[in-house]
A and B are shown apart, each in its own frame.
Chain A
Amino acid sequence: MNWQAITLSLKLAGSVAGILLVAGLPIAYWVTFSRWRWKFLIEAVVALPLVLPPTVLGYYILVGLGPRTFPGKLWQSWFGQTLPFTFGGLLIASVLYSLPFAVQPFSAGFETVDRTLIEASWTLGASRLGTFFRVILPLSAAGAITGTVLSFAHTIGEFGVVLMVGGNIPGATRTVSIDIYDQVQAANYEAANRTALVLLLFSFLVLSVIYGTNRRAMSLWRKP
């Protein structure tokens, strides 16, 4: 069992889910409540990773973050290493790749919040930020949880983007899905089988626990 790869996958997925929770909520808020007429363009950009082949996305990220580009140079001057084929590069690529899996459930959650509740909060003196944390977020918790879980699970399972941007460096970019691919390539089916099963059980467990908790939290105040 390649524990190094499993740990790396968990670390990557956890970081992506955390970053997307912080960065995805404001994006989703804007997408839901903005009345800008060109909003659909931004929505289309956010949804791109859903339809692009991971190789295409990975290719552009690889080119865009390379040592000759502006973001690549900036990163290098701060951290002293290039982005491609490092954990940092993999993290950025994974965040972009999982963006719609976080933003769309968040946004769907915000949509369900009754507009008059938001207005009631304003008339009671709450600011926009206060209204977000005291009314909108608690009422769309299901969407926030779903988005976070999906971005976590999606990152665990990603393959094409990792291969393009991260390569296959043990401890830095060799995630579980790459490891399984390697083992199958090396005809090491027993190891591939074990790792795949662990991944399957883990994913199922995480999803069940979170969806289960989610439902109980909702029913607390929804049921009379």
Chain B
Amino acid sequence: MPLEVAIEKQVSGFRLAVEFTADGAPLGLLGPSGSGKTMTLRAIAGLETPDRGRIELHGRVLFDSAHGINVPARERRIGLLFQNYALFPHLTVAQNISFGLRRLPAPERARRVEQQLAAAHLEDFASRYPASLSGGEQQRVALARALAVEPAALLLDEPFSALDTHLRSALERQLRQTLETYQGSTLFVSHNLEEAYRVCEKLVVLSNGSVAALGPKEEIFRHPPTLEVARVTGCKNFSRARRLSDGRVEALEWGCTLRVTQESAKPPVHVAIRAHHVRVHLAQKLNLQNSENVFPCWLAAMTETPFRVTLDLRIGSPPASPADFHLQAEVFKTEWESFRDLPQPWAIELATDRLFLLQD
């Protein structure tokens, strides 16, 4: 494996203990803030020293507490893209990019700078200072600077968090193209799950300093193993659950009995469904014989976004207040308009193959 990480570190009140490997494909480090993503990244880059463990990159041991090995950051050949980009304000764009190329002969250095400027479409900015660049341009310079030294691994710490929304998608596309040609390992830290999903093939979900899930992204999103991972991957609807006979669980908080297709070796603790998988129908659906997992529901509150609405729904009885709801459903506006004026209750459907069971 190109990158193998197994480290532990105790810092006042927080314990980091993570273990994962990354192959050539970009690996996403996903988790809420304070889960240890940035500290993991810094430990790999050599800016933070773990208490125990081992870090190996392409067969080179960078850190091994058992053998007293701790390669200093400057010799690790790891490119780190800082959250605030950390461009040198007293150097021009070209000087920033060539900063790490001191040891190369001048013609080679010039060639590499040219190459990076061209790849990042920054030719016109070569002699400008960072303060005169926009956030997106600064990010491209920082990436070009990190790539110019041809690092063995590239670590990206929330590279889009400081940017306006309209810039993000364009820069993200550019980053994905760059990563396709990049030969080393890539680690991408994010708390934005959609962004991590688009950029990465595999994901590591961190929670409270440890690995909560690790695997191909589709797998993690389809079957999050625990409540925490489900939350991190954007799931909004949970209920404590009790297993009844085979294939049925009682959702204690939602007050209903559900049929589920997912097998669970251990008794499930929670049942969950993603908001965009919750279906809302007209009440007639309630009367159909073959409708499984369909219940009467009432609207407690509604939130509008440009193209979708989020409905806060209560199963079984009308809500006492706008905060009194069981599940959130996300539906397109056109769909919403088709039933918004019809009398309640409506029918809520929690499809058997969309429900998943979680451990604590």
Contacts and interface: CB of A to CB of B under 8 A. Distances in A.
Are both chains from one complex?
A: yes
B42 to A, nearest CB: 8
Nearest to B132: A224
B86 A122 contact: no
B99 interface: yes
Interface string A101-136: 000000000000010110111111111001000110
A222 interface: yes
B82 to A, nearest CB: 5
Contacts of B78: 123
Interface in B22-76: 45-47, 72-76
Contact of B47 (A122, A127, A220): A122
- Chain B CB within 10 A, most for which of A117, A127, A130, A223: A117
A135 B99 CA distance: 10
B84 A124 contact: no
Given A116-B84, A124-B149, A221 B47 contact: no
A126 B74 contact: yes
Contacts of B100: 124-126
B295 to A, nearest CB: 53
Contacts of A120: 80, 82, 86, 88
A139 interface: yes
Nearest to B73: A122
Contacts of B46: 122-123
A126 B90 contact: no
Nearest to A128: B74
B225 to A, nearest CB: 34
Nearest to B42: A119
B82 A116 contact: yes
A139 B89 contact: yes
Nearest to A130: B102
Contacts of A135: 88
Interface size class of A (residues with CB under 8 A): 20 to 34
Contacts of B125: none
A139 B145 contact: no
B88 A116 contact: no
B167 interface: no
B74 A123 contact: yes
A117 B88 contact: yes
B100 to A, nearest CB: 3
B99 A121 contact: yes
A174 B84 CA distance: 55
Contacts of A138: 90
A119 B90 contact: no
Given A221-B131, A222-B89, A119 B47 contact: yes
B82 A124 contact: no
Contacts of B47: 119, 122-123
B102 A126 contact: yes
Interface in A173-224: 220-224
B45 A126 contact: no
A123 B73 contact: yes
B343 to A, nearest CB: 59
A127 B73 CA distance: 9
B129 interface: yes
A151 B174 CA distance: 52
A143 to B, nearest CB: 14
A159 to B, nearest CB: 39
B131 A123 contact: no
B79 interface: yes
A117 B145 CA distance: 13
Contact of B99 (A114, A126, A139, A220): A126
A116 B86 contact: yes
A134 B145 CA distance: 15
A221 B89 contact: yes
Nearest to B103: A125
Contacts of B74: 122-127
Contacts of A127: 74
Interface in B80-128: 80, 82, 84, 86, 88-90, 99-100, 102-103
15 contacts: A116-B82, A117-B86, A117-B88, A121-B99, A123-B76, A124-B100, A124-B145, A124-B146, A125-B74, A125-B103, A125-B149, A139-B89, A221-B89, A221-B131, A222-B131
List the 3 closest pairs (A to B, CB-CB), nearest first: A124-B100, A120-B86, A122-B73
Interface of B: 45-47, 72-80, 82, 84, 86, 88-90, 99-100, 102-103, 129, 131-132, 145-146, 149
